[in-house]
Amino acid sequence: MLRQRTLSSQINASGVGLHTGKKVSLTLRPADADAGIIFIRTDIQSEPIKASFDNVNDTRLQTSLSNNDVRISTVEHLLSALAGLGIDNAIIELDGPEVPIMDGSARPFVFMIQSAGIKEQNAPKKFIKVTKPIEVRQNEKWARIEPFDGFKVSFTIDFNHPAFDNSSQSSEIDFSSVSYLSQVSRARTFGFVKDIENLRKNNLALGGSVNNAVVIDDYRVVNEEGVRFQDEFVKHKILDAIGDLYLLGHGLIGSFSAYKSGHHLNNLLLRELDNNKEAWEEVIINDVDKSPILYTSPEPLTSES
């Protein structure tokens, strides 16, 4: 049986919020089986916020969760790392309103989780298995989930810009055979110089720089080191989508595909899936060899787990 996972120990880090520009400290803690992913603001008195699609309150260039007036922004990269490593249960404490952007990818969060250790728990891992196609559209943009015996993500972006190679604006990854760590986790967020002034007028991207994003001017990538791999832009959209999809509360068994989708459309898709109860079922995997996702190995299960 595939078992739920949490962290073996607590781990801390700090960084700057991409949009607020404020320094924030982050602590990841183990959580009990079936707890899910829980966010807690430690700088104010507030109730915990569960990582759930119906707690999403803002999708402008990031995904934010809220509980009444309390908000935690830019959760998608951390959620993507948790999903990629199969972490079902964790407590995430922040002393500010935004998850730190780190280097703009999920890799620093992957490193944190691996440094803390991954522990199996005495409870079955649950998945949402898609049984019927669900699709949402917004003008030419669309996102879709379909039945698939595994977890596959296909994404297409469409930028008419010299920095974007037409051959690298689409990508498809089957995570039953391909590692999230090697193929997706290192892909950084990206943005255009021409948009910076307008974003900052709207209190967005206040902490953005070449240290935490791929920055593109009218002709090229500004970062001295360039891109990490040719299709880094579309791979980052896949990274984002994995984080957004994890707001289902469980891993997905199905195929997600999208054209020019973003956080808003991704969230609408999850709400539409939830509204169509006949289009999915909750399942467990009794045969470990039939895992729908290629996860890294956890620590051995002990009698205390």
> Residues with catalytic annotation?
263
Contact call for residues 38 and 92 (beta carbons, < 8 A): yes
> Exposed, middle or buried by CB within 10 Å (0-12, 13-18, 19+), for 176?
middle
- Report the alpha-carbon distance of residue 278 to residue 273 in Å, rounded: 9
User: What's phi and psi for 189, nearest 5 deg?
Assistant: -65, 160
- Report the alpha-carbon distance of residue 119 to residue 134 in Å, rounded: 34
- Report the alpha-carbon distance of residue 98 to residue 15 in Å, rounded: 10
**The two three-digit tokens of residue 165, written as one number:** 């190679």
Q: What is residue 198's three-state secondary structure? A: helix
- Report the alpha-carbon distance of residue 101 to residue 200 in Å, rounded: 16
Neighbours of 76 (CB within 10 A): 26
Contact call for residues 281 and 131 (beta carbons, < 8 A): yes
DSSP letter string, 103-130: TSSSHHHHHHHHHH-EEEEEEE-EEEEE
- Report the alpha-carbon distance of residue 134 to residue 142 in Å, rounded: 11
